[in-house]
Amino acid sequence: MHKLNGKSGCAVEVTLSVMGGTWKPIILFHLLRGRMRFSDLGRAIPSVTQRMLTLQLRELEEAAIITRTVYPEVPPRVEYELTPLGHSLEPILVSMRDWGLNYTGAAPVAEPCPLA
C-alpha cells in the first residue's frame, strides 16, 4: 500500500474544493471591492490568461460564489460580482492578504491590491 489509509475529507478540504487553486483566491480577492468586468479582472491579475480567467470564473459561477451579468451591448460587457456566499469568504481572503503583507515586510498598510 502507498496511500496511508481510507477516506475522510475535513472542513479545510471542502473550502479548498470551492476556492482552491492558483487563480480563484486572487480573483475573489479583487471582487471583494465590488463588481468588475472581465477586462478589469484581467488587468488586475496580469499573469492570468483569458482562457484561465474564463475557466475559473465559470467554476466560481457554478459554485454560486459569483454571478455573471451580460449586458447586451456592442461590444459586449460582462460583469462579475460576489454572491452573499462569495462574500462569506472574505475572512479567509483578508487573512491571506494580511499574512502576505506581513511576510513581505510591510505593516498592513495600503493598496498593493484592493482593500487597504
Bridge partners (DSSP) listed for residue 47? none
* SS3 state of residue 90: helix
**CA pseudo-torsion sign 46, 48, 53, 59:** negative
Task: List the end-to-end C-alpha distance of the chain, in Å, as a whole number.
Answer: 49
The reply on whether position 107 binds a copy of itself by CB under 8 A is: no
- Out of 13, 14, 77, 108, point to the residue binding DNA (CB under 7 A): 77
> In 3D, which of 72, 4, 78 has the Cα closest to residue 35?
78
The reply on whether position 10 binds a copy of itself by CB under 8 A is: yes
- Out of 3, 71, 73, 116, point to the residue binding a copy of itself (CB under 8 A): 3
Binding segment (CB under 7 A) for DNA, from list 8-16, 43-51, 84-92, 99-107: 43-51
Which residues sit at the interface with DNA, rule CB under 7 A? 2-3, 21-23, 37-39, 47-52, 54-55, 57-58, 68, 74-78
